Structure 1
Amino acid sequence: MTHRILIVEDEPSIAELIAVNLSHAGYEVEKAMQTDLAMNAMRESLPSLIVLDWMLPGKSGVQFAKELRANERTRSLPILMLTAKSEEADKVMGLDAGADDYVTKPFSPKELVARVKALLRRQSPVQDTGPLSVGPLKLDPISHRVLAVRPNAESKPIPLGPTEYRLLQFFMANPERVHSRANLLDKVWGSEVYIEERTVDVHIKRLRAALAPLDCDRFIETVRGSGYRITKTPTET
Structure 2
Amino acid sequence: MMKILLVEDSPDCQNLIQLALGKKHFIRTVSSAEDARAELHHNPFDLLILDIELPGIDGIKFCAEIKASEQLESLPIIFVSSRDGIEDKVLGFSVGADDYIQKPFDLRELHARVEAKLRRRIQEKERQENYVSGAFRVNINQQKIFLITDSSDVDLSLSSLEFKLLLYFLNHEGHILTRSQIIDRVWGQGTNVGERTVDTHVYILRKKLISKSGFIQSVPGEGYKFIQSSL
Give the TM-score taking structure 2 as reference length: 0.53
SS at structure 2 position matched to 1:38: helix
* Length, aligned pairs only: 131
Structure-2 residue corresponding to 1:187: none
- Verify: 1:113 aligned to 2:111, yes or no: yes
Question: Would the aligned equivalents of 1:4 and 1:28 in 2 still touch at CA under 8 Å?
Answer: yes
Q: Which has the larger radius of gyration?
A: 2
Contact residue 63 and residue 97 of structure 2 kept, 8 A: yes
Alpha-carbon contact 1:65-1:98 (below 8 Å) kept: yes
Which one of 129, 137, 149 corresponds to residue 143 of structure 1? 129
CA shift for structure 1 position 49? 0.3
Q: Which residue of 1 aligns with 2:11?
A: 12
Distance 2:34 2:58 in 1: 11
Moved over 4 A (4+): none
SS, match of residue 91 in structure 1 = helix
Find the counterpart in structure 2 of residue 42 from structure 1: 40
Aligned to 1:156: none
Structure 2 Cα separation of the partners of residues 7 and 43 of structure 1: 15
1:169-208 → structure 2 map (5 Å cutoff): none
Cα distance in 2 for partners of 1:57, 1:109 equals: 25
User: What CA distance in whole angstroms lies between the structure 1 residues aligned with 2:125 and 2:35?
Assistant: 36
Identity within the alignment, %? 35
- Equivalent residue for 1:85? 83
Hey, what's the Cα distance between the residues in 1 that align with 2:42 and 2:125? 29
CA contact (8 A) 2:46 2:121 kept: no
Instruction: Return the offset for 1:33.
Output: 0.2
Give, in whole Å, the separation in 1 of the partners of 2:124 and 2:31: 35
- Using the TM superposition, give the Cα deviation of residue 40 of structure 1 relative to its aligned residue in structure 2, in angstroms: 1.5
CA distance in 2, matches of 1:80, 1:111: 13
Change (3 A) 1:88 1:28: same
CA contact (8 A) 1:69 1:98 kept: yes
Question: Residue 65 of structure 1 aligns with which residue?
Answer: 63
Aligned residue number for residue 95 of structure 2:
97
**Aligned-pair RMSD on alpha carbons?**
2.1
Provide structure 2 residue ranges, at least 5 long, that are not aligned to the other structure: 131-231
Cα offset for 1:87? 1.6
Aligned with 1:42: secondary structure? helix
Shift of 1:143: 2.8
Q: Which amino acid aligns with 1:84?
A: S
Q: CA deviation at 1:55?
A: 0.5
Cα distance in 1, alignment partners of residues 53 and 104 from structure 2? 14
- Find the aligned partners of 1:127 and 1:37 in 2 and give their Cα distance: 26
CA distance in 1, matches of 2:50, 2:81: 8
